[in-house]
Chains A and B, each alone.
Chain A
Amino acid sequence: MQADEDMRKKVEEALKKTAAYGEDFDLDEYGIAPHDVESTDNLSELSEEDQRTLLNVGFTPSEENRAGSFIMLDNAVSHTSMRDKDVVELMSLKDAMKVHDWLKDYSWKLVKPDADKYTAMSYLQEADGYFIRAPKGKKLKMPVQTCLLLGSKQVSQTVHNIIIVEEGAELDVITGCSTKHGIEKGLHLGISEIYVKKGATLKFTMIHNWAEQIGVRPRTVVHVEEDGTYINNYVTLKPVKSIQAYPTVVLKGKGAFARLNTIAVAHPGSELDLGSRVIFDAEDTKAELISRTITTGGKVIARGEMIGNADRAKGHLECHGLVLGKGGMQRAIPILEANVEDIELSHEAAVGRIAREQIEYLMARGLTEEDAVGMIVRGFLDVGIQGIPDELKADIDATIAKIGESAI
Chain B
Amino acid sequence: MLEINNLTVEIGGRRILKGVDLTVEAGYTNVLFGPNGAGKSALLMTLMGFSGYNVLEGEIIFKGEDITHMSVFERAQMGMGIMTQRPPNMSGVKLYDLLNVISKDLKETESLAETLDMVRFYERDVNVGFSGGEIKRSELLQLSAQNPDFVLLDEPESGVDLVSIEQIGKTINQLLQKDCKCAGDRCKHGKSALVITHTGQVLDYVEADRGYILCNGTVMCSGNPREMLTEIKEQGYEECIKCKLMKI
Contact = CB atoms under 8 A, between A and B. Distances in A.
Interface of A: 355-358, 360-369, 371, 375-376, 378-382
B92 interface: yes
B125 interface: yes
A368 B91 contact: no
B90 A379 contact: yes
B98 A375 contact: yes
A365 B90 contact: no
Interface stretch (B58-66, B70-78, B167-175, B193-201): B70-78
Contacts of A367: 73, 101-102
A361 B125 contact: no
B72 A356 contact: no
Contacts of B81: 364-365
Contacts of B142: 365
B30 interface: no
B73 A363 contact: yes
Nearest to A365: B102
A380 B92 contact: yes
B191 to A, nearest CB: 16
A358 B91 CA distance: 9
Interface in B35-84: 48, 50-51, 71-73, 75-77, 81-82
B71 A363 contact: yes
7 contacts: A357-B88, A360-B50, A364-B50, A365-B76, A366-B102, A376-B93, A379-B92
A365 to B, nearest CB: 5
B223 interface: no
Given A364-B81, A365-B76, A376 B92 contact: yes
Given A375-B101, A376-B93, A361 B73 contact: no
A364 B152 CA distance: 11
A366 B90 contact: no
A285 B120 CA distance: 32
A379 B76 contact: no
A358 B98 contact: no
B146 interface: yes
Contacts of A366: 73, 76-77, 102, 146
A381 B92 CA distance: 8
B122 to A, nearest CB: 14
A54 to B, nearest CB: 29
B226 interface: no
A360 B98 CA distance: 14
A367 to B, nearest CB: 7
A379 B93 contact: yes
Contacts of A375: 93, 97-98, 101
Contacts of A376: 90, 92-93
B18 interface: no
A118 B101 CA distance: 48
A356 B76 contact: no
Nearest to B147: A366
A368 B73 CA distance: 6
A361 B72 CA distance: 9
B51 A356 contact: yes
B87 interface: yes
Contacts of B50: 357, 360, 364
Contacts of B92: 376, 378-382
A364 B72 contact: yes
B94 interface: yes
A324 to B, nearest CB: 15
Contacts of B51: 356, 360
A368 B74 CA distance: 8
A348 B97 CA distance: 26
B101 A361 contact: no
Contacts of A379: 90-94, 97, 125
Contacts of A357: 50, 88
A369 B73 contact: yes
Given A376-B92, A378-B92, A365 B77 contact: no
The CB with the most chain A CB atoms within 10 A, among B48, B50, B72, B97, is that of B72
Given A363-B71, A363-B72, A363-B76, A358 B90 contact: yes
B146 to A, nearest CB: 6
Given A366-B77, A375-B101, A379-B94, A361 B88 contact: yes
A364 B81 CA distance: 6
Given A358-B88, A358-B90, 10 more contacts: A364-B72, A365-B76, A367-B101, A368-B73, A371-B101, A375-B98, A376-B92, A376-B93, A379-B91, A382-B92
The CB with the most chain B CB atoms within 10 A, among A363, A365, A375, is that of A365
A293 to B, nearest CB: 14
B73 A380 contact: no
A376 B89 CA distance: 11
The CB with the most chain A CB atoms within 10 A, among B48, B75, B92, is that of B92
A355 B48 CA distance: 17
A129 B87 CA distance: 51
A358 B88 CA distance: 6
The CB with the most chain B CB atoms within 10 A, among A366, A367, A379, is that of A366
The CB with the most chain A CB atoms within 10 A, among B51, B76, B125, is that of B76
What are the 6 tightest A-B residue pairs by CB atom distance, in nearest-first order? A379-B92, A363-B72, A363-B73, A366-B76, A379-B93, A357-B88
B88 A355 contact: yes
